[in-house]
Structure 1
Amino acid sequence: MRLLSAFAALTLSLQLAGCGSPPPHIAHLQGADVLLLGEIHDQASHQRQHRDVVQALAARGRLAALVLEMAERGHGTAGLPRSADEDAVRAALRWDDQAWPWASYAPAVMAAVRAGVPVLGANLPRGQMRAAMADGSLEGTLDDGALAAQREAIRAGHCDLLPPQQLLPMVRVQIARDRAMARTVAETAQAGRVVVLLSGAGHADPALGVPRHLPAALVARPVLLERPAGGAARDYCAELREQLQREQ
């Protein structure tokens, strides 16, 4: 996998252009096979950018597929007509609205469907997670530094509440998810067009995530979306600790 040299490991705060103009990063996708948009899940502005990217690429005939962390691998809209309604699309993707609010992602998903572009789930199916936790071979897909960084990301992401013995199994699941998404992206790649992957920022991280597992022949551009300036950060760890205290 090759990263576009001008954008390797780049974190951008994307400001959309005015009406009728493409998002500014679209102009810099010459030669790219994959655009990975790594969002902060609670940021509505990021999901609006998803929609604008999909619409801009589709309008230019350059969108090969829309690939989602938010749905499991093996489910997609390829058999649906452009006129399919939202209920049919949700059913095809086996959408879990409790995990991923449909209203947040529907604009991007439906823009792809209306353009006749397949929308594909890419996340590791829930039924495969237990096997991933026990699969020691997954650790060998990252070098020691990346593996240590992934372990630290899992620790911090779980608010330091995971027992130490659970860290490595959770790292394996994260790697397995990245590999499942990478396989889906690789299977849908088309010469001259761009596969767009929507995922959390950790999965789009070129040092740790999906880009590490893409075929070497694919040119990928990871973009890690930033929290808007002045935006309040939700303290999920504080919320989780309060919940645990109430349950105790």
Structure 2
Amino acid sequence: MPSTFSRFFRPLGAAFAALALAGCASSPAVVPGALWPAPLEGAAPTDILLLGEQHDAPDHQRLQRDTVLWLATRGRLAALVLEMAERGHSTAALPQDATEEKVQAALQWHDAAWPWSTYGPVVMAAVRAGVPVLGGNLPRSAMAAAMQETRWDNHLSATARQQLLDALQDGHCGLLPAARLPAMARIQIARDASLARTAQEAVRPGQTVLLVAGGEHVLRHRGIPTHWPGSLTSQVLSAHTGPALAAPKTGVDIAITTAPLPPQDACAVLRPQK
């Protein structure tokens, strides 16, 4: 889900440095989307590259496809892991020339939730390059059980957990009853754990796993990276619509800015239900 962030624009040179020293800086550099994926040229090798998106921003899926192509043409892409498909589904058994219909079937693609017209070009870029695409999200059949998993209540620090609860409430337009927030947080953390496990299993020496998910999922301090051992290296990129002033402030190594979306009140349809 999208978050509200703030950060001043830095020159492109800082972006190269931030990627080369991912995880060392306390605040991210900001890169205009028009310059992507050039900063990858200066990136240090990493096991997993996380790319956060705003789901309704077409420019973000373009960034994803460009990243797939950049890594794949250099033989550096081990796998593409997606929030948009459930863990356990994969294109690994398909040939490079598989039809889009067969790819969707292999991933058990849920078009109503994730329009193929939006994400298909990203997926097919990997398939055509001979790179496996792996669903990483928690299966819907497991979500009810995840809501009862109290062990997730202690996974994050108290500060990070409160930030997650606040983000969940903001993401639901402030309309969620407070009593429902803990269960929603458990599902979010369980989804992150599922994505993290899938990506970790796909790691290959000398290559990089690209993990695509919503911006909240990729945050280093409260998202997917919290489920990995310290020995696994990762870099966190987050795409953001709008001006550099509103780019992510913490939790990412690089903030990629893209054109603002037309203004809309996404909460308008929910308010009458309060």
Using the size of structure 1 for normalisation, the TM-score is 0.90
Contact 1:11 1:224 in 2 (8 A): no
The offset of 1:25, in angstroms, is: 2.6
| Letter aligned with residue 154 of structure 1 | L
CA distance in 2, matches of 1:91, 1:9: 41
Check if 1:15 corresponds to 2:45: no
Q: What is the count of residue pairs matched by the alignment?
A: 238
The offset of 1:12, in angstroms, is: 3.7
Alignment of 1:187-202 (within 5 A): 187-202=201-216
Match of 2:14 in 1: none
Match of 1:141 in 2: 155
Structure 1 spans left out of the alignment, 5+ residues: none
CA distance in 1, matches of 2:237, 2:203: 18
Match of 2:66 in 1: 52
1:183-209 CA-to-partner distances (Å, cap 9, x unmatched) read 001000111111001100000111211
The offset of 1:231, in angstroms, is: 3.1
Match of 1:238 in 2: 268
- 1:11–1:174 Cα change, 3 Å: farther
Structure 2 spans left out of the alignment, 5+ residues: 1-20, 242-257
CA distance in 1, matches of 2:27, 2:225: 10
- 1:206–1:221 Cα change, 3 Å: same
Using the size of structure 2 for normalisation, the TM-score is 0.82
CA distance in 2, matches of 1:8, 1:89: 40
Give the CA RMSD over aligned residues: 1.8
| Letter aligned with residue 236 of structure 1 | A
Match of 1:74 in 2: 88
Contact 2:57 2:261 in 1 (8 A): no
Secondary structure class of the residue paired with 2:216: helix
Match of 1:115 in 2: 129
Bigger mean CA offset, 26-35 vs 130-139:
26-35
Secondary structure class of the residue paired with 2:211: strand
CA distance in 1, matches of 2:115, 2:61: 11
Identical aligned pairs, as a percentage?
A: 46
Contact 1:204 1:222 in 2 (8 A): yes
Secondary structure class of the residue paired with 1:4: coil
Contact 2:72 2:129 in 1 (8 A): yes
